[in-house]
Amino acid sequence: MAAIILASSSRYRQQLLHKLGLDFDCTSPDIDESPRPGEGPQALVRRLAEQKARAVATGIPLGLIIGSDQACVNQGRILGKPGTRERARAQLLAASGRVVTFYTGLAVLDAASGELHSLVEPFAVHFRTLNETQVDRYLDREPALDCAGAFKCEGLGISLFERMDGRDPNSLVGLPLIGLVELLARFGVEVP
């Protein structure tokens, strides 16, 4: 089997990829992740996933490179990682009673041939109506300052939702495994 390289330093993506039981290495890509003028979230995450894979492939002659990127969209606005409690609180209060959509771009690149396959996986989160006290209690217990949307669905963040809609809940964490299995199969990698 070809070597597999995850073009990411995200511990969340690494944990997800371990679920598939594949041996892989990680290399952090160095790219500009700024959106282009007029670029929508789906085009942005696909482009960035592909760019990450290509950036890592420049130094690796053989192997399959996995790139991934995510955008969290609330009311047409892309939310970044909050970084501070104040921004996390604002993101969660703005999501209260709304549907927030996550778009995760995924790309797999064969470094030797240059063959690339990519997709964008949407996933919608329907938030409960939340008050300030609930948001503060959540952030006291699970300050998700390094997560777009300011929550961890794999933890207590699930309590903030009414429901979720989408094919693969792993895409909320940043690596849609169902789509990844499909893309890897195009390169002859069968999981399991």
Taking the CA atoms of 77, 79, 84 and 90 in sequence, report the sign of the dihedral they define: positive
Taking the CA atoms of 21, 165, 98 and 132 in sequence, report the sign of the dihedral they define: negative
**Side chain identity, residue 131:** N
Q: Are 136 and 89 in contact (CB under 8 A)?
A: yes
Q: Where do we find the tokens 């290399």? A: 27
The residues annotated as belonging to the active site are 69
Rounded CA gap, 119 and 106, in Å? 5
At a CB cut-off of 8 Å and minimum separation 6, what does 36 contact? 44, 47
